Structure 1
Amino acid sequence: MPGPDTARPATQPLPDSEALVGLLDTLRHHSVRELRLALPRRPYERRVREQAALLSAELVRRGAQVRVLHLEDVSRDPAYADDTRRIAASGAWMRAVPHLPVWMAVADRDFAIVPSDPGLEDACATLVRGRTVVGAYQELFDQVWARSAGPAGPAGPGSDGLDEREREALVLLAEGLTDEGISRRTGLSVRTIRRTVAGVMTRMGARSRFQAGVEAARRQWI
């Protein structure tokens, strides 16, 4: 059997989102130890993200490690924000980045799912096998992961150390409310809300309000 440096890659086209979603669904029934996922953003990929949330939940339940890179700024994309929180709540390890070089899903070192052409506005993707090529995508993911922001530990229920004010602020923050909106909802001053939110963000290592909401969901605090 050829070693990793001489293994020849094999590719399989995934011509539309239906094929891509179907492949992700089959992964739920296979033995996967580690999944690396760079979460796509474009609107046609909504079903892909929804399937990724189901896949993440199943793999985490079976004890696999799931690491997810997602975009930091999603203020104008509520669907992406919702899908990211759903994946975080499944127990995946999450990190935020300002830009994704390419979306991908890499299962162990067995295969990778990547865009056929990252510049195209359609759902064409390619399944790539071959340890050398798949290893290159793993390395790219790991390099971006190492430079990204946010805690990476696995989530789980337990004591979160939050007081009632902090938990309420996090819930409303995850709903997308501004400090002023949280202030009106809770009856607390804007200054108090800003201090509360800043303190919770510092404890979680979050660099943005959205990341704080994602991290709170990942830790099952809300």
Structure 2
Amino acid sequence: MPASGVAADNLESALGQALSLLETAVHHHRRSTLACVTADLPVGGETVAGWVARLVLRAERAVIWSLPEVASEEHGNLIAQTVSQLAGKGVGTRMLCPPPVIRGPLWARTLGTLGPEVEVRVSGAVRQELVVVDGAAVIAPDATPGEPGGSRASMIQNSTVADMTYQLLSGMWDTAQRPTRPLSFEGGARGRVLQEVLTLMAEGYKDDAAARKLGLSVRTYRRYVADIMRDLQVESRFQAGVRAVRAGLMETGSP
């Protein structure tokens, strides 16, 4: 492995160890005056995931979210709705996940339906769900098997703990990898349509012929083409073909 790769792995490992220590501190702070869980505790049968979503929606500037798993379709849909509402307010969301999470069917059916509303990077060091809101508050759900989002959660508004958590997650973000394949192509009906559009683009179909073949209007087909170029971060259809081959989205090497 190149020296740069070894250094990145070592840094991720160090950040993971530091995060483990922070998780222990969060656990202890749950029982201290630093854990500010007051009138916002789940009420009326609300799940912890729902309670977390309400708190996250208070964000005004930015959210960074470490998500070790999508526990259920309900859990994934709730997070996706939260991220979408944040985007509507102009609040950016960065999400850190272990590699298997973004390749799983639950992700594809829930968060995988989102577009640029959420930035995603993968890191094997993510083991606990933590959300830092505006760099000022940490929301820490418990991971409890069988309960979406856990059975309880804490919101820590101590500035020192919030800043430490933010710095650690930001450090993990800087060393984490971008998904090798655009997430919009992963699973679900939208992913299948994008694959079909990309294939017809590569085969040289004109827009009107491709649209007829897929049973779409030309306008809708061109919107999918624009989405593909955006997701692949290219400026031309030729570049889209080249990038798609490199990303493993197409079997053929001919754009």
> One fold, TM greater than 0.5?
yes
2:123 aligns with 97
1:63 aligned to 82, 87, 90, which one?
90
How far is 1:99 from its partner? 4.0
Q: 2:244 aligned with 1:200, yes or no?
A: yes
Shift in Å at residue 48 of structure 1? 3.4
Task: State the match for 2:64 in structure 1.
Answer: 36
CA RMSD of aligned residues (A): 3.9
Q: Which runs of 5+ in 1 are unaligned?
A: 1-7, 152-169, 177-181, 189-195, 213-222
Q: Which amino acid aligns with 1:137?
A: T
Q: Which has the higher helix share?
A: 2
For the pair 1:140 / 2:168, whether they are aligned, the reply is: yes
Shift of 1:131: 0.8
Distance 1:126 1:36 in 2: 16
Change (3 A) 1:79 1:11: same
Q: Sort the Cα spacing of 1:60 and 1:201 in 2 relative to 1 into closer, same or farther, 3 A.
A: farther
Residues 197 and 102 (structure 1 numbering): CA distance in 2 closer, same or farther, change over 3 Å?
farther
**Cα 1:79–1:132 shift into 2, 3 Å:** same
Q: C-alpha displacement at 1:83, in angstroms?
A: 2.5
Summarize the Cα distance change of 1:59–1:130 in structure 2 as closer, same or farther, 3 Å threshold. same
- 1:136-161 CA-partner distances (Å, limit 9, x unpaired): 2112211210111118xxxxxxxxxx
Q: Letter of the aligned partner of 2:171 in structure 1?
A: Q
Tell me which of 3, 22, 37 is aligned to 1:12. 37
Q: In 1, distance between residues paired with 2:96 and 2:241?
A: 23
After TM superposition, the structure 1 stretch with the greater mean CA deviation from structure 2, 73-82 or 34-43, is 73-82
Name segments (4+ residues, structure 1) moved above 4 Å.
13-17, 170-173
Mapped to 1, the partners of 2:173 and 2:55 lie a distance apart of 26
Q: Using the alignment, how far apart are the partners of 1:171 and 1:129 within structure 2?
A: 33
For 1:107, the equivalent position in structure 2 comes to 133
Relative contact order, higher structure (CA 8 A, sep 6+)? 1
Q: Is the 8 A contact 2:136 2:159 kept in 1?
A: yes
Q: Give the count of matched residue pairs.
A: 164
Larger Rg: 2
Counterpart secondary structure, 1:36: strand
Higher fraction of strand: 1
**Mapped contact 1:73–1:98 kept (Cα < 8 A):** no
2: CA distance between counterparts of 1:24 and 1:108? Answer: 14
One-letter amino acid matched to 1:174: E
Shift in CA distance, 48/175, structure 1 to aligned 2, threshold 3 Å: closer
Q: Percent identity?
A: 18
